[in-house]
Amino acid sequence: MIEEFKKIIENSNNIVFFGGAGVSTESGIPDFRSKDGLYNQKYDYPPELILSHTFFYNNTEEFYKFYKDKMNSLKYEPNITHIKLKELEDKGKLKCVITQNIDGLHTKAGSKNVLEIHGTIYKNHCIKCNKEYSAEYVFNSNGIPRCNCGGIIKPDVVLYEEPLNESFEEAIRYIQNCDTLIVGGTSLTVYPAASLIRYFKGKNLILINKDKTPYDNIATLVINKKLGEVFKEI
C-alpha cells in the first residue's frame, strides 16, 4: 500500500492535503474522540459545551481555564508528517494544506499555503476594540486575558455554534481543482469540515487513518496506519 502511495505522489503535481487531529497526535497533542482524547476526560462541563460560542460569553473564566490547560500547543513541535508535507510543497507537488487543527504546527514546520478552517491559537483579538494579541499573551495571562481597553480577548478559533471562517470556501476551490487529495488523521464524521471531501473531482483519493471512515468505499487507496509510519517512507 505504501509503495502505491509513493507512486501516486510521484505521478501527481497538484496535490492537496486535508488533515485532522491525527496529524498532531504524534507531536504529543491529544485528539478529541479517541479513548484518551479530550472528550473522554472528566471536567465540570463537557468539552463540547466549554468550546461553544455561548459558553465563551456566559462562562468566560471557565472557558479560559480549559482553553489554557488543553489548547496551549506552543511547546509542541512539528512531526514527520508536517515536515514531509513541507518538503512536498517545496517540490511544487503539494499546492495546499487544509487543516482542522488550531495548533499552528504546519506553519511552524515551514508550510506556506495553509488553510486553517477552524482558526488558530496564534491569532486573538479584543472583542471590544478588535486589537490583536499573540498566543503568548493569552496563555501567559492571569485569569481572563484582557485588552488595554479593558475588553475581553477572544481566540480566533471556530467554536461550536460559530460558522467556519472564509478559508473554507478557498479550501473547496483547492479540492475541486486538485488531481490527488490526501486525507489524513481525521474520522471524517465532523461537519461541515467532513463535507469537503464531496467536492473532490480528481483522480486519486487517498485516506490515511488508523480507523475506518465513512468514505473508505470511494477511495483510490485506504491506509489504516499512523500518518508518521506512512510519511516517513516518502
**Would you call the peptide bond into 192 cis, given omega within 30 degrees of 0 as the criterion?**
yes
Strand partners, 221: 206
The C-alpha cell of 200 is what?
473532490
Judge whether 118 counts as a catalytic residue.
Answer: yes
Phi-psi region of 94 (alpha: psi -120 to 50; beta: other; left: phi over 0): beta
Residue tagged active-site, from 53, 82, 106, 118: 118
166 burial (CB, 10 Å; 0-12 / 13-18 / 19+) is: exposed
> HSE-up of 35 (CA within 13 Å, CB side)?
1
Strands 132-133 and 119-126: antiparallel
Q: Which residues are catalytic?
A: 118
